[in-house]
Structure 1
Amino acid sequence: MFWKFDLHTTSHIDTLLEKEDVTLREVMDEDDVLQECKAQNHKLVEFLLRPQCMEDLVTFITQEPSSDVEEKIKYKYPNISCELLTSDVSQINDRLGEDEKLLMKLYGFLQNEPPLNPLLASFFSKVLSILIGRKPEQIVDFLRKQEDFVDLMIKHIGTSAIMDLLLRMLTCIEPQQLRQDVLKWLNEEKVIQRLVDMVQPSQDEDRHSNASQSLCEIIRLSRDQMFQVQGCSEPDPLLATLEKQETVEQLLSNIFDNEKNESAIVSVIQILLTLFETRRPAFEGHMECPPGMSHSSFSVNHSILEAVRPRLKDFHQLILEPPKKNVMKTTWGVLDPPVGNTRLNVVRLVASLLQSNTHNINTELINLNTMGVILDMYFKYIWNNFLHIQVEICTAMILAMPCAPTDFQPNTEQEHARESILIKHLFQKCQFIQRIIDAWSSNEKEQAEGGRRRGYMGHLTRIANSIVHNCDKGPNGPQIQQLISELPVEDREKWETFICGQLTDTNKRNTVDLVSNHIDITDVFIFTSLPLCPTAFSDYQMQQMTSNFIEQFVLILHDWTSRCKEKIQQFEDAGSDEEDIWDDKDVTFAPESQRRPSSGSTDSEESTDSEEEDVKRDPFEASNHSTDDRMEVDTDCDGWLETSVASPLSTSSKDCESAKVEEETVCCEQRSITETVINGSMKETVSLTVDAKTETAVFKRFAKHLHTKTATYVCKESILNVMTGTYTSEYIHVHLHHYTS
């Protein structure tokens, strides 16, 4: 029996450690050293805890390897050392966290001159991060004793691993009181101000990027912490410092009072955008304030807006004169100058400022005509969709958001009729309506001459639809209607013609019809798709999804028509002894490749017949075939809506003269075939029923949206008189609650 044998295998490391003169490098050369360490092999852990071994492990990750070491193994031992020290073995954590000599050796890595070796920096950051999480009190106490710690962190902020370490100190320190003490300490060390000083043209791009990202993460982490820790009475000192007006003013001074530097400008804008990311209502609706939080936490700090407002003219000038960019040659032409990252981020900032919906900000933007300049860019750079989406956001917010508290004008009918000064500026000064119509007409002219559709037309369609929607249902509807009515007669007529003609036609093309009843008697039936979620698929995808149904059932209907004619001939010949083709037989559905040999695609992977055989093969065959090839007959009607037409449109069938014929007629009164196909989130069942007695063919389609509690069932029932070709079609739309498992 297997228990008679000792299946325990002694690790080679255990044997190796029995040698008195074994070295750390020899142990680290073993393939399973990391696994044995994580498994807390007693002998291995005791060996690693030796003072010399611990010192060597720290040395490996803090000192540059010798230049004469072969490149492929140059960082082998530093990597293994890092993995051993971060294997989360409590004895190793205790020894490293409590031995100040080892900590000083580890800390010495920060005292190297920049730039730090990025790989060694990642090892150092990983080890110290583990210690911060496992031994927070000891590590924080040690770091606070080092007077140059914050200076060194800022000095090396251009190294991403050091930035990560700084953020780790803000997120992984527990308990909460200790974390609050760390925040106060870092704030006293002016870490925010020092990071702000890094974002200016005199520093390199790495420092710009990492300092900006650090400040952005501090903002987000601080706000998240406010939600996670309920009842926390103490504010985050770092966040409070960042939101001060003088801090924001210093950021703006860095980029505007010196030479223009795109990296610095973009980094500062990223910080401002993050400051504007507070959990506040979007322009579509309002979000309630969570319990225990004041509403002021959900709006942009007033001091930030006050710091930004005087600099709006400088941001406006950046749109007009961005930092110098080289001419860019593209497949669509030459961009001189290109939009550039600076201008794109300035437009993003404008969109964020508009969302704050502050009267002073709005007034300044109007005075500068910033929206007019942004619209100029929109129509000039026809292929920059990053710009187009930001402009669309700007216009959507202006049209949909309520008036700012002081945005009102006196009116004879009311003492204070509230009006949006931004909407008035957009329609009057910026000539919003006229520019949309002109751009649309210009695009159509180019397309008529063989040109391509402009890249902004999709966004322009949505902008035009936004005007129409807000004119009818938006909070500023009366004002928009009034402004449109004040347009010159020619422009107003053009707009009305546009929204009733070109815009309506475009919306129809962009919307997949739920149903279609286009009939071609030559091909009997041509059907379009029935998607319950029109935007889920493109027009091309929907065409491909339904092409199989169309071709299959055209063949089916023709086949049933011919069979009906044969059957009627049999009714007329009561004395015929031929086999009844309508006798109970299994109906099979031919594979796709056998029905449509010329399509180039197949629904059945088992079909290997030649093209010639495919053409000759009957799409409906008798049983004698594997069940895999048979058409699925769906008899489960649970959850599906069934309908029928009350009065069939057909001529009366001929009376049967014999009982035998009557019996046959009963057997074959209705023969139906049903196929169910699931594609994506839509399930569609299509059935064809031929009533030989009334000589009618009934075609039904059922569509159902899967995975939803509320499903929409759409049934299309069509009837064709086999003899005369008389056709009717009826649609039934029913909304039911259908609970799926």
Structure 2
Amino acid sequence: MTFWRSLGFQTEMNDVLDKPNFTLEELLDKGEFFITECKNQNQKLMAYLLQEDPLRKLVGYVVGVYDDEQIEDEEETNQNRLTYARTCCEVLCQEDWALSNAVCENEGLLELFWSFLEREDGLVGGLVSPFACRAASILLQRKIQECFDVLKSKENSLGMLLSKIGHSHVNELIQKVLQCDKSDSFGVLQWLRDENFVGQAIQKFSPQEPSCVHENMAMTLIEFFSPPSSEEVMSMMNLFEQEDNLGKMMDFIVNGVCATATYWGLHFVLELLKRGVEMGGMMEHVPPEELPTIIRISGQYLKQIADILREVLVGEDGDDRRITSSFGKVVPLRSYRLKALEFLAVLLSARNNWVDEQFIDSQIFEICVQLFFTYHWNNFLHSCVSDIIMPFLEEREMGLVFEVLFARCLLGEKIIQADEENSEAVESQMVSSRGYMGFLNKIANQIVAMEGKNPNFRSLLENHVPGWSNYVNGSLKKHNEMYSVILGGQKPIGDDSGMSLDESGGPEDEEDLEAICTQYSVVQGFSEPTFGYGGWEGEEEGRGG
């Protein structure tokens, strides 16, 4: 069947190629027949396309440069050009390099190809922009040196690309540019430095830019730098951590005007911060002037980060930001505040005394604890706050922990109050436990573990947190016992023990197995058992799959 189809395609093309004065457009009108014959390396067809005039027209359709002609029907003409652009792009990008090599070996054709960067509509406004960007990516991979010679010869070619990074097809082309020469063998990284790539990239996080620009720029940078694959890329990454560049980036993040600038800016800075913390080693007593720049600058902006989190807590009943939910009216937390909490958790992991003095003066801990107990059901928030509180509990000096978390934040009293309110609601209203209860129990158990290691800490809690001992020996103990029960009983002991399933505590008969299945279903929240012994309910015996 394939043979006969191929023969049909060849006949279609030969009908055109045998004409005395055929045009490229007549070939392009054959659509898939034309593409297939190019892939099949039809010798007569390829010989024609490799001539300069047809090849120039083919490139022109891809990048939106057309011969002067009288346009009678603009709509029909544009549709034809769009179809031709797609077809020509497919041919240029095919696995055989004959056509792409011919373009790159002809300086005039290569200049024509990259001319789409210079036109205002060349990247996004024109009909052919996705095809131009795709073909450019392919040529760049195949002929790096030739393509970069043209790019470097054009004034502000990098700026022209970055100005349209909000469009997906242009963003993909930019990523190809950044990824194609990470060892700087062809001078690409040096060209990026000469074109002030770092400064232009940071400017894309301005609140005045649209959200798609913030997202694409952040993801492009993370893709470029993760992981740094060479010393040259590392040196480029270090430019982002220079004080002026990082300060400008943080100014955009804490501006407060644009949520996406905050979110995506923090998303990228987090990658730099994780690297700084990992490479910084032991920094507990390091003074701020000797800290890695990324950690020092991040610490200097903690008060502004705190303001971003605090503003969600000051809304009143008449606040127009409040929305109605199934749990009452709340101010939406929004993802950029969760990203700010993630940022704080990573910065805290530096375990530096100066940074801690900043996590305390800016009232970060008080804000985090209040957020935790204000949003009953936001487990993303509860996880982020737990990542901040738990390491602080485990790794800091006892006196500091008690002063910050228990004297200032009143964490012990809040845990007890939240547990009592939850128990009352569950018992009186027959509702589910609040979403933060699992995290709350985890934090409480960590506090209890600290009591066991340090009797002085236990005395502080007993003297300053009313009801703590009763909570630990009552409600917390009950929760721990309930959640430590092994579902389905103890694991059966192997045959080598000489014990039977009955003796090992395993299920004794079919009724026991059904009881286990029922228990599992109820715990998972099903109103009725979803399966019985021997298979799924209603399943035919012996059914495969």
State the TM bucket, normalised to the shorter chain: 0.7 to 0.9
| In structure 2, distance between residues paired with 1:36 and 1:448 | 75
Contact 1:279 1:297 survives alignment (8 Å): no
Q: Which amino acid aligns with 2:271?
A: T
Q: Which amino acid aligns with 1:450?
A: Q
Structure with the greater relative contact order (CA < 8 A, sep ≥ 6): 1 or 2?
Answer: 2
Map 1:141-290; keep pairs closer than 5 Å. Answer: 141-173=149-181, 176-178=183-185, 181-220=187-226, 223-226=227-230, 234=232, 236-256=234-254, 260-278=257-275
Paired positions, count: 506
Aligned match of 1:458: 438
Aligned match of 1:348: 342
Contact 1:318 1:342 survives alignment (8 Å): no
Aligned match of 1:332: 327
Contact 1:17 1:44 survives alignment (8 Å): yes
| In structure 2, distance between residues paired with 1:38 and 1:298 | 60
Match 2:539 to one of 581, 598, 602? 602
Cα distance, 1:434–1:141 mapped onto 2, change above 3 Å: same
| In structure 2, distance between residues paired with 1:7 and 1:271 | 52
Equivalent position SS for 1:329 = strand
CA-based RMSD of the aligned residues comes to 4.0
Cα distance, 1:496–1:428 mapped onto 2, change above 3 Å: farther
Verify: 1:90 aligned to 2:97, yes or no: yes
Equivalent position SS for 2:324 = strand
**For each residue in 1:198-221, what CA deviation from the matched residue of structure 2 results, as whole angstroms up to 9, or x when unmatched?**
21122222322223333333332x
Per the TM alignment, residue 444 of structure 1 is displaced from its structure 2 partner at its CA by 1.3
Contact 1:398 1:422 survives alignment (8 Å): yes
Aligned match of 1:494: 471
| In structure 2, distance between residues paired with 1:298 and 1:132 | 44
| More helix per residue | 2
Give the TM-score of the pair, scaled to structure 1. Answer: 0.61
Cα distance, 1:276–1:482 mapped onto 2, change above 3 Å: farther
Q: Which amino acid aligns with 1:38?
A: K
| In structure 1, distance between residues paired with 2:15 and 2:450 | 80
Contact 2:425 2:431 survives alignment (8 Å): yes
| In structure 1, distance between residues paired with 2:5 and 2:247 | 72
Aligned match of 2:532: 547
| In structure 2, distance between residues paired with 1:465 and 1:56 | 73
Verify: 1:368 aligned to 2:372, yes or no: no
Aligned match of 2:139: 131
Contact 2:64 2:126 survives alignment (8 Å): no
Equivalent position SS for 2:120 = coil
Contact 1:513 1:530 survives alignment (8 Å): no
Contact 2:175 2:220 survives alignment (8 Å): yes
Q: Which amino acid aligns with 1:390?
A: C
| In structure 2, distance between residues paired with 1:208 and 1:148 | 21
Aligned match of 1:23: 23
Verify: 1:359 aligned to 2:353, yes or no: yes
Per the TM alignment, residue 71 of structure 1 is displaced from its structure 2 partner at its CA by 8.2
| In structure 1, distance between residues paired with 2:143 and 2:236 | 23
Aligned match of 1:620: none
More deviation, 6-15/81-90: 6-15
Q: Which amino acid aligns with 2:36?
A: Q
| In structure 2, distance between residues paired with 1:280 and 1:503 | 35
Aligned match of 1:42: 43
| In structure 2, distance between residues paired with 1:298 and 1:63 | 57
Match 1:313 to one of 281, 303, 319? 303
Cα distance, 1:54–1:298 mapped onto 2, change above 3 Å: farther
Cα distance, 1:478–1:368 mapped onto 2, change above 3 Å: farther
**For each residue in 1:396-439, what CA deviation from the matched residue of structure 2 results, as whole angstroms up to 9, or x when unmatched?**
33234x44xxxxxxxxxxxxxx5583565223322223322221
Per the TM alignment, residue 43 of structure 1 is displaced from its structure 2 partner at its CA by 2.1
Of all paired residues, the percent bearing the same amino acid is 21
**For each residue in 1:109-129, what CA deviation from the matched residue of structure 2 results, as whole angstroms up to 9, or x when unmatched?**
122226714873322221111
Equivalent position SS for 2:329 = strand
Q: Which amino acid aligns with 1:244?
A: Q
**For each residue in 1:18-54, what CA deviation from the matched residue of structure 2 results, as whole angstroms up to 9, or x when unmatched?**
2232222322233233233223232222222222222
Q: Which amino acid aligns with 2:311?
A: E
Q: Which amino acid aligns with 2:218?
A: S
Cα distance, 1:88–1:546 mapped onto 2, change above 3 Å: closer
Per the TM alignment, residue 55 of structure 1 is displaced from its structure 2 partner at its CA by 1.9
Match 1:108 to one of 72, 93, 115? 115
Question: Structure 2 stretches of 5 or more lacking a match?
Answer: 67-72, 284-289, 493-501
Per the TM alignment, residue 525 of structure 1 is displaced from its structure 2 partner at its CA by 7.0
Map 1:320-719; keep pairs closer than 5 Å. Answer: 320-321=310-311, 326-335=321-330, 337-400=331-394, 402-403=395-396, 419=398, 421-422=400-401, 425-453=404-432, 454-468=434-448, 484=461, 487-488=464-465, 490-508=467-485, 513-514=489-490, 526-528=511-513, 539=524, 547-548=532-533, 601-604=538-541
Q: Which amino acid aligns with 1:105?
A: L
Cα distance, 1:348–1:6 mapped onto 2, change above 3 Å: closer
Q: Which amino acid aligns with 2:229?
A: Q
More deviation, 462-471/53-62: 462-471
Aligned match of 1:703: none
Give the TM-score of the pair, scaled to structure 2. Answer: 0.80
**For each residue in 1:668-697, what CA deviation from the matched residue of structure 2 results, as whole angstroms up to 9, or x when unmatched?**
xxxxxxxxxxx9xxxxxxxxxxxxxxxxxx
Contact 1:133 1:173 survives alignment (8 Å): no
Aligned match of 2:496: none
Larger Rg: 1
Question: Structure 1 stretches of 5 or more lacking a match?
Answer: 227-231, 282-294, 404-417, 550-591, 593-598, 607-627, 629-678, 680-741
**For each residue in 1:647-684, what CA deviation from the matched residue of structure 2 results, as whole angstroms up to 9, or x when unmatched?**
xxxxxxxxxxxxxxxxxxxxxxxxxxxxxxxx9xxxxx
Per the TM alignment, residue 348 of structure 1 is displaced from its structure 2 partner at its CA by 1.8
Cα distance, 1:71–1:136 mapped onto 2, change above 3 Å: closer
Equivalent position SS for 1:334 = strand
Per the TM alignment, residue 161 of structure 1 is displaced from its structure 2 partner at its CA by 2.3
Q: Which amino acid aligns with 2:200?
A: R
Equivalent position SS for 1:307 = helix
Per the TM alignment, residue 237 of structure 1 is displaced from its structure 2 partner at its CA by 3.0
Q: Which amino acid aligns with 1:108?
A: S
Q: Which amino acid aligns with 2:305?
A: F
Per the TM alignment, residue 85 of structure 1 is displaced from its structure 2 partner at its CA by 0.8
Equivalent position SS for 1:133 = helix
Equivalent position SS for 1:178 = coil
Equivalent position SS for 1:158 = coil
Contact 1:208 1:267 survives alignment (8 Å): yes
Q: Which amino acid aligns with 2:191?
A: W
Per the TM alignment, residue 244 of structure 1 is displaced from its structure 2 partner at its CA by 1.5
Cα distance, 1:74–1:399 mapped onto 2, change above 3 Å: farther
